[in-house]
Each structure stands twice: as structure tokens, then as C-alpha cells.
Amino acid sequence: MSSAEPVTDADWDVKVLKSDKPVLVDFWAEWCGPCRLVSPVLDQIAQEKAESLKVVKLNVDDNPAVTRRYAVLSIPTLLLVADGVEKRRLVGARSLVQILADIQEFL
């Protein structure tokens, strides 16, 4: 079971935009090989950074509205959202060290 919380089009605003801490959103799909590589890394981040960061997963096949709203064209795409605004976008599979380096200023 994933440590990252699922998010949908319906609960996006509450779980992501109105979060009291920064949110790392994983745009993914079941058929995406690189998404499967990133998933355990995101689980580790979710566990290690739970105090300062929320990690959620949005299935692009099941949630097209948010996917379109944020113009996500490739997966995996990670968005760092803070105070309801996209602050950072990471496209493609990355290592734990790379992801943490790219979002460090928001932790």
C-alpha cells in the first residue's frame, strides 16, 4: 500500500490547493513504467517528510480535469504546490536525491 494519498478531480481543491503544508503531487497511470519506478521513492518521501510535506497521487486516466488544468502532457510529472500555487514541476523519473534537491526550499 502506498504512503501517498490518492487525490481526484473532485477533492483536488481541498486536498491540494487548501492544504496547510506544501503538497507534492504525482501525476501517474497504471500502464506507465517510469511511474512505477518513481512510486517507491515517493512513498519514502511521504514517510520521511510527513511533518513538512504531503504527498498525493493523481491517476491521469481517471482524473482528466486536473490533468488538463495543469497541462500535464508527460508522466510521471511531479508538481510541488504550496499555498495553492504550483511552485515546481518535475517531469520524468528521478531519484530520491534529485527530487529532494529540487523541492528542498519548500520543506
Q: Which residues are catalytic?
A: 32, 35
**DSSP codes of every residue in 18-72:** T-SS-EEEEEE-TT-HHHHHHHHHHHHHHHHTTTT-EEEEEETTT-HHHHHHTT-
Residue where the block lists cell 534529485? 98
Task: For residue 102, count other CB atoms closer than 10 A to its CB.
Answer: 15
Residue where the block lists cell 506544501? 22
